[in-house]
């Protein structure tokens, strides 16, 4: 699968997963099925991501669901995290 980055708003990036190469100069039509996600926010250095993933799997199980895939993303860039003094990471678990 390929990941394509598309600007969503000034200063932000939206990443889409595609099954084949996409020419971004052409119009892009996204056909997708409805997906359901459980999310949870974690604070701390990214080196803790393994522990967060285990916590997220436990959280998903506690809701009676099974995680098919998990994606992690930062809520701020590294420079902004230094300014705010915190680094938050969100985990989205597809259920």
**Pairwise CA distance, residues 24 & 52, whole Å:** 34
**Pairwise CA distance, residues 64 & 74, whole Å:** 27
How does DSSP classify residue 46? Answer: G
| Residue 95, pLDDT above cutoff 70 | yes
Model confidence at 76, in pLDDT bands (50, 70, 90)? confident
What residues have CB less than 8 Å from 1, skipping those under 6 apart? 17, 18, 19
Per-residue confidence (pLDDT) for residue 78, from 0 to 100: 79
Give the pTM. 0.63
Q: What is the pLDDT of residues 9-55, one digit of tens each?
A: 444 455 556 666 665 555 555 455 667 888 899 998 888 999 999 99
């Amino acid at each position: 699968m390929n990941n394509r980055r598309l600007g969503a708003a000034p200063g932000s990036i939206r990443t889409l997963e595609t099954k084949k190469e996409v020419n971004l100069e052409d119009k892009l039509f996204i056909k997708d099925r409805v997906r359901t996600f459980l999310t949870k926010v974690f604070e701390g250095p990214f080196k803790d991501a393994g522990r967060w993933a285990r916590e997220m799997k436990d959280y998903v199980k506690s809701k009676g669901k099974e995680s098919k895939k998990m994606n992690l993303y930062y809520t701020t860039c590294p420079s902004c995290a230094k300014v705010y003094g915190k680094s938050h990471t969100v985990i989205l678990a597809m259920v």
